[in-house]
Amino acid sequence: MTKEQERARARRRHEAAQKTQKPPVGDSARDKQVFGVILAVIVILAAVIAVPHFIGNRTDDAATPATASTAGATGEATNADGLAQGQKLAAGCEKPPPLQTSPKQFTKVPAKATAAGKTFTATVKTTCGDIEFELYGDKAPQTVASFISLAKEGYWAPSPCHRVTSEGIYVLQCGDPTGSGSGGPGYTFGIENAPKDGVYPTGSLAMARTQDPNSNGGQFFITYQESKLPTDGGGYTIFGKVTKGLDIVTKIAANKAIGENPADGTPVSPISILSVNVTEKK
């Protein structure tokens, strides 16, 4: 073999070896890779931080959609009293029982004929004392029929009042056994007896709902001070009034809400419904 042939053979071996090697990463390419990794980490961290923020800020509003709440009744840190952080019992109140694990669900709207043309008295036993209502079966028969049915079924036994507001509207909202502000009995119905001017006198008992006029279910609110609510979508059904125990509601409302917005959220002073008993007025 000549020297020229040896040199040619060596050159071919070198070129073949070069083809099997990965090309080196230049400074520019390496910088791009490092930047990409850093950007990916930032995106992941942002997602971890943002998701709880968005989930935790769903709101339950008697004047606007009542489908979710700032009330985080499950999974919250607790204080020495076993209450959610920031909560404290008001004078004369007992510690609320745990939330229901499997609230009852129903598929059929109760017949409004059971309440039509009648009035009723409801006694709501709470951890802070009894609150009594007069129910307007003559003005809101479907709503009162539903209230009576849910009371008989023990739907609210127990359930927390998960929301209190103290700016613009003045309400204590109750009736969701899950404590989340998004729970319902499994059926819905429409609006009845909503004031055309949007004014809800002190002591009004009214239904909470979403933007859908036909989304009334099991959640209701009590106005402890006259409130003007939007009339868009038909307003909110007034189906009764407080006849005893409004001072209990006022006491809970006076301590406002926990968290960043004390004017709207989970009550600082917890109150839960223990039982509801309804009788017809003769």
Could you tell me the two tokens for 62? Answer: 């008697």
Domain range for 85 = 62-280
Instruction: Assess whether 73 and 47 both reside in one domain.
Output: no
Instruction: Assess whether 35 and 106 both reside in one domain.
Output: no
The CB-side HSE value for 255 (13 A sphere, CA atoms) comes to: 19
Contact status, residue 222 vs residue 133, Cβ threshold 8 Å: no
Instruction: Assess whether 193 and 232 both reside in one domain.
Output: yes
Instruction: Assess whether 111 and 130 both reside in one domain.
Output: yes
Neighbours of 28 (CB within 10 A): 8
Check which CATH number belongs to the domain holding 183 and give it.
2.40.100.10
Q: How many helices (H) and strands (E) does the chain have?
A: 4, 12
| Overall residue count recorded for the chain in this entry | 282
Contact status, residue 83 vs residue 114, Cβ threshold 8 Å: no
Q: Which of 39, 55, 71 is the last residue of a domain?
A: 55
Could you tell me the two tokens for 171? Answer: 């309400």
How do residues 210-220 score in pLDDT, each as one tens digit? 999 999 999 99
User: Model confidence at 80, in pLDDT bands (50, 70, 90)?
Assistant: confident
Contact status, residue 172 vs residue 269, Cβ threshold 8 Å: no
241/26: higher pLDDT: 241
pTM for the structure as a whole: 0.76
Instruction: Assess whether 199 and 214 both reside in one domain.
Output: yes
Instruction: Assess whether 88 and 194 both reside in one domain.
Output: yes
Instruction: Assess whether 7 and 102 both reside in one domain.
Output: no
pLDDT of residue 67: 32
**Whole-number Cα distances in Å, 99 to 75, 156, 161, 198:** 11, 10, 11, 33
Q: Which of 55, 71, 87 is the last residue of a domain?
A: 55
Q: Where are the beta strands (DSSP E) in the chain?
A: 119-126, 129-136, 159-160, 163-165, 171-174, 199-200, 204-207, 220-223, 227-228, 238-244, 264-265, 272-280
Instruction: Assess whether 28 and 128 both reside in one domain.
Output: no
Task: Calculate what percentage of the chain has a pLDDT beyond 90.
Answer: 70
Average pLDDT over the chain, rounded to whole? 82
Query: What domain count does the chain have?
Result: 2
Instruction: Assess whether 182 and 44 both reside in one domain.
Output: no
Residue type, 251: K
Could you tell me the end-to-end alpha-carbon distance of the chain, in angstroms, rounded to an integer? 124
Instruction: Assess whether 148 and 22 both reside in one domain.
Output: no
Residue type, 103: P
Instruction: Assess whether 107 and 164 both reside in one domain.
Output: yes
Residue with tokens 């076993």: 82
pLDDT of residue 127: 98
13/216: higher pLDDT: 216
Neighbours of 75 (CB within 10 A): 6
Alpha-carbon distance 69 to 209, whole Å?
Answer: 12
Query: pLDDT at residue 263 above 70?
Result: yes
62/86: higher pLDDT: 86
- CB neighbour burial string for 115-131, b if at least 16 within 10 angstroms, e if fewer: beebbbbbbbbbbbbeb
Instruction: Assess whether 227 and 265 both reside in one domain.
Output: yes
- CB neighbour burial string for 251-268, b if at least 16 within 10 angstroms, e if fewer: bbbebbbbbeeeebbbbb
Residue with tokens 């008992």: 205
User: Model confidence at 124, in pLDDT bands (50, 70, 90)?
Assistant: very high
Q: Which of 12, 31, 55 is the last residue of a domain?
A: 55
